[in-house]
Structure 1
């Protein structure tokens, strides 16, 4: 079985087109594997199922790996790193706020509740929020893409229910990136990560970037990630006992604010 240094997570396969350029940049310097979660039509949305399948792949590796993902995929990585800190050399989150429950899915359903608009009109507003202004034809295509993702792929929320995921960090070294002009993970949501950062963790804002900043600025984003991975490689690895102690403390803090997934 092939080994790899880093694993890019993709919880919504139809969005992988926005990840590809950054993945290609990273592959020039290290061995990156692309992991995608495909949900069948009859399968219920379950983050726990995705985590279990992810663990099947990662546990076969002989050494800890760098884990990274954008949006919901990053949230999946965050939860995995909390459950299995010994398997994660570092975690890189792109467009994930300190409250991981609040992604673009949550914004969409909140708008559905508050605005007297059709689903199509709200999706077009979401497109502008996520990608910025564009011509009508492209906006319609992206709105259709978002609708398909909401209907067929892993989504943490619905009109009837919102899943709450505990805010907080991880024991592994952490890099959190966002777009300077992201309307979903705004500067305040990004800055709230300061509460959870450890020594060596890092926050980075991509100038002029929106929610999919890594698609528009893959080269600069890859430079930041590779610099972080180089920094992590020079750091001493925490002992398993130390990792467990850190995770115990993190879990206590998270349980005071929200339930951990699966509780």
Structure 2
């Protein structure tokens, strides 16, 4: 009988899942990883309550607490879940999620729309440089289409006429918070402030050297190595002395 996964990757942005694949591929070479996905129907209203219930129904089937991972809004979902059900969460890795956890790329988009009299697609096209850096025109068009799809098909707190702020969400599970030095969506202070909310010695903040908002796509191996190190730090074996140290002590 196959062993159940110990890591669950959350995805409520199906149109953007292509940016998760390199990191997922790297992680699955080392650990058992499963994906949990939710696609927002155009006829449904966005309800985090309903999605949290669906997620809990699935996680309860696991034999042991899981390591959760989420980027952006998916990370916010993981944060809300870890607050409600810490007994089911071994750790939580947040990618591009600040201490003001409701802020995501859509917040940036809707603020942009209110400031400039451009169409939706033109605003999205203008944002490509912020989110991805210098990009060839043909690829920028494809990325614009992906962002437009994400606006229509993903869970979100925000819409054109209202952006939601959330109070800070304290959790007691170990946290790995990752972002990049050039992620324009997140205020650097919103990342540094995480450190005052870490509840245990395993939690850590890691900043990637580049990659902007989707840094985990461009630097998948570096991000993966940091995740593996984080998970190893919580394993019982990490608390044992190396054999060489034991030999020295007995000499």
Mark yes or no: TM-score above 0.5: yes
2: CA distance between counterparts of 1:96 and 1:227? 20
In the alignment, what sits opposite 1:4?
5
1:2 shift after superposition: 6.0
In the alignment, what sits opposite 2:82?
81
Equivalent pairs, count: 236
Is the 2:65–2:87 contact (alpha carbons within 8 Å) kept by the matching residues of 1?
Answer: yes
Is the 1:180–1:186 contact (alpha carbons within 8 Å) kept by the matching residues of 2?
Answer: no
Query: After the TM superposition, which residues 80-119 of structure 1 pair with which residues of structure 2 at under 5 Å, given as runs?
Result: 80-119=81-120
CA RMSD of aligned residues (A): 1.7
1:120 shift after superposition: 2.0
1:228 shift after superposition: 0.3
1:73 shift after superposition: 0.7
Q: Gapped runs of 5+ residues in structure 2? A: 239-251
2: CA distance between counterparts of 1:168 and 1:40? 27
Determine helix, strand or coil for the equivalent of 1:211: helix
Q: 1:63 to 1:147 in 2, by over 3 A?
A: same
In the alignment, what sits opposite 1:212?
214
2: CA distance between counterparts of 1:166 and 1:229? 28
Instruction: Tell me the alpha carbon deviations over residues 122-160 of structure 1, each in whole angstroms, 9 at most, x when there is no partner.
Output: 111221111111111211111111111112321220012
Determine helix, strand or coil for the equivalent of 2:90: strand
Structure 1 length as normaliser, TM-score? 0.85
Query: After the TM superposition, which residues 57-206 of structure 1 pair with which residues of structure 2 at under 5 Å, given as runs?
Result: 57-200=58-201, 201-206=203-208
1:121 shift after superposition: 2.1
Query: Which has more radius of gyration?
Result: 2
2: CA distance between counterparts of 1:50 and 1:235? 35
In the alignment, what sits opposite 2:19?
18
In the alignment, what sits opposite 2:28?
27
2: CA distance between counterparts of 1:116 and 1:66? 43
Query: After the TM superposition, which residues 32-71 of structure 1 pair with which residues of structure 2 at under 5 Å, given as runs?
Result: 32-71=33-72
Is the 2:132–2:211 contact (alpha carbons within 8 Å) kept by the matching residues of 1?
Answer: no
Determine helix, strand or coil for the equivalent of 2:69: strand
Instruction: Tell me the alpha carbon deviations over residues 21-60 of structure 1, each in whole angstroms, 9 at most, x when there is no partner.
Output: 1111111111110111022232211111211111111011
2: CA distance between counterparts of 1:86 and 1:164? 27
Is the 1:74–1:96 contact (alpha carbons within 8 Å) kept by the matching residues of 2?
Answer: yes
1: CA distance between counterparts of 2:168 and 2:115? 25
Is the 1:180–1:207 contact (alpha carbons within 8 Å) kept by the matching residues of 2?
Answer: yes
- Identify the range of structure 1 (125-134 vs 74-83) with the bigger mean alpha-carbon deviation: 125-134
Instruction: Tell me the alpha carbon deviations over residues 233-252 of structure 1, each in whole angstroms, 9 at most, x when there is no partner.
Output: 2399xxxxxxxxxxxxxxxx
Is the 2:131–2:183 contact (alpha carbons within 8 Å) kept by the matching residues of 1?
Answer: yes
Structure 2 length as normaliser, TM-score? 0.89
Residue 228 in structure 1 maps to residue 230 in structure 2: yes
Structure 1 segments of 4+ aligned residues over 4 angstroms from their partners: none
2: CA distance between counterparts of 1:68 and 1:152? 20
- Identify the range of structure 1 (39-48 vs 6-15) with the bigger mean alpha-carbon deviation: 39-48
